[in-house]
Amino acid sequence: MSCLMVERCGEILFENPDQNVKCVCMLGDVRLRGQTGVPAERRGSYPFIDFRLLNNTTHSGEIGTKKKVKRLLSFQRYFHASRLLRGIIPQAPLHLLDEDYLGQARHMLSKVGMWDFDIFLFDRLTNGNSLVTLLCHLFNAHGLIHHFKLDMVTLHRFLVMVQEDYHSQNPYHNAVHAADVTQAMHCYLKEPKLASSLTPLDIMLGLLAAAAHDVDHPGVNQPFLIKTNHHLANLYQNMSVLENHHWRSTIGMLRESRLLAHLPKEMTQDIEQQLGSLILATDINRQNEFLTRLKAHLHNKDLSLEDVHDRHFMLQIALKCADICNPCRIWEMSKQWSERVCEEFYRQGDLEQKFELEISPLCNQQKDSIPSIQIGFMTYIVEPLFREWARFTGHSALSESMLSHLAHNKAQWKRLLPNQRRSSSGGGGSGSPDHTGPGTEAEGQTVTEGDAP
């Protein structure tokens, strides 16, 4: 590979920035290895839920004894913590793309700031490495590698860790979703009202939080973990269980990769805390908290983006918007995401039915249609947040485009409603006040508070 220079910090500079994709592919799917040559594993990684454990249901409907479940889950956690025990031996393959695919991926990256960016196509063109490729490009484009003196190989290694800790078997909460949220976050960070005040640290925090906000997601919601006595529910005392796990997993990978080890200790501690604040903000249970605060700021006109706390708050809002922006995408992509999230809901419902657990709201495929779920989600969750985001941006071209897509997509779903429900939907679909859902970690909330896919 020509026309590059490797500096002491490991930064890679290209005369032609379009070579970014090729560099990422050439680095390959490298795994972190210990001194003994044994792959170093991330500690405390979320165990794939072995639903055979649920067969220990007693006649009373409870899931065995606490001691028995704890012992089974402890073994399960140990078993799944090691890729060697799972029989997965790293081969360190190089994902060298065909030149045609490489050219198309490079062309797509040149338009990564466009709202119609097709993350599904990009994932195919990068051989399933959309998250790693996208983040490497964005870190370089925003000048973060140079500013923070990051080692490019270490950065790539960390991003591979993150990408691999997403569960590809999840229809929705997988690495492609993370890449989609990251691309949306990039678009929001470019909004003129916000961009002029952001520091390099703000940008890095926003991109990292977007990339890792759902890492190690099991494909089921918090109530499911609670009613199956999962150890994480006990660990985090049933409060923001998944968000806390996403955050702690991210910190573990940052430390293991030593991506920020060269930075002052006080700075790395601050980065870890701010990442936690951003990721925890994606808890849909806190939707009203953030929305009320945003409305108050906009009403009082007291947001000062020169203030670090106000700026961090708007990063939280931006991440919340990015996390639930699917209904604001063009119809073709929005529809795919809607079908994926509902498939994940239905899988949870099927498991709950199989193991004689109460089926969670919105998880019953026989009763909850995709159109009704989406209409309720758009009406009670997405529209209120994005209306306020549009106010904040001064009704920018992007925010107006998103609201336009949202209105169009909602109309499309209304046309697809089952005939018997159209007359009574009133735009709310399944959004009755007592209808809770699994959403983006929606934890037993009413749809008015957040049944977010």
CB contact at 8 A, 447 and 438? no
Residues that constitute the known binding site for Zn(2+): 177, 213-214, 323
Residues that constitute the known binding site: 173-177, 213-214, 323, 374
Identify the sign of the CA torsion 401, 113, 163, 266.
Answer: negative
d(CA 207, CA 210): 5
173 catalytic? Reply is: yes
Residues that constitute the known binding site for AMP: 173-177, 214, 323, 374
d(CA 360, CA 262): 46
d(CA 348, CA 250): 25
| 132 Cβ neighbours under 8 A, 6+ residues apart | 24, 126, 156, 159, 160, 163
- Cα–Cα distance list, 255 to 32, 43, 129, 161, 272 (Å): 12, 11, 22, 12, 10
Token pair belonging to 316: 């939280």
CB contact at 8 A, 197 and 209? no
* Given 137, 142, 173, 435, the catalytic residue: 173
Which of these, 114, 128, 112, 155, lies nearest to 23 by C-alpha position? Answer: 155
Which of these, 139, 159, 137, 150, lies nearest to 20 by C-alpha position? Answer: 137
3 state DSSP class of 238: coil
DSSP classification of residue 307: S
CA 60 from chain centre, in angstroms, equals: 37
DSSP characters for 20-87? HHHHHHHH-S---B-TTSSBPPPTTPPPPP-GGGGGGB-TTS-BS-HHHHHHHHHHHHHHHH-TTTTT
User: To the nearest 5 percent, what fractions of the chain are helix, strand and coil?
Assistant: 60, 5, 40
Catalytic residue numbers read 173
